[in-house]
Amino acid sequence: MHTQVIVLNGGSSSGKSRIARSLQAVLPDAWLSLSVDTLVDAMPARLTTGGDGIGFAEDGGVDVGQEFMTLQDAWIAGLVAMARAGAHLVVDDVFLGGAASQRRWLDALGDVPTLWVGVHCDAAVAEDREAARGDRVSGMAAKQADVVHEGVAYDLEVDTTNTESMDCARAIAAHLGYLSERSAVEQTPTRGGRS
Q: List residues near a second copy by CB under 8 A.
A: 18-19, 21-22, 24-25, 30-34, 38-39, 42-47, 49, 53, 58, 67, 70-71, 73-75, 77-87, 122, 124-125, 128-129, 131-134, 138, 161-162, 164-167, 169, 186, 190-191, 194
Of 29, 37, 92, 128, which is the active-site residue?
Answer: 37
CB atoms within 10 A of CB 111: 7
Write down the least CB distance from residue 61 to a second copy, Å. 16
88 secondary structure, DSSP code: E
37 catalytically annotated:
yes
C-alpha to C-alpha distance for 32 and 193, rounded to whole angstroms? 31
Identify which of residues 98 and 136 has a Cβ nearer to a second copy in the complex: 136
Measured torsion, CA atoms of residues 181, 156, 138, 60, in degrees rounded to the nearest 10: 150
- Do the bridges between strand 62-64 and strand 5-9 make them parallel or antiparallel, or are there none, so unpaired? unpaired
Tell the smallest beta-carbon distance from residue 151 to a second copy (Å): 26
Minimum Å gap between C-beta 58 and a second copy is: 8
Nearest Cα neighbor of 54 from 88, 12, 108 is 12
For the annotated catalytic residues, the residue numbers are 37
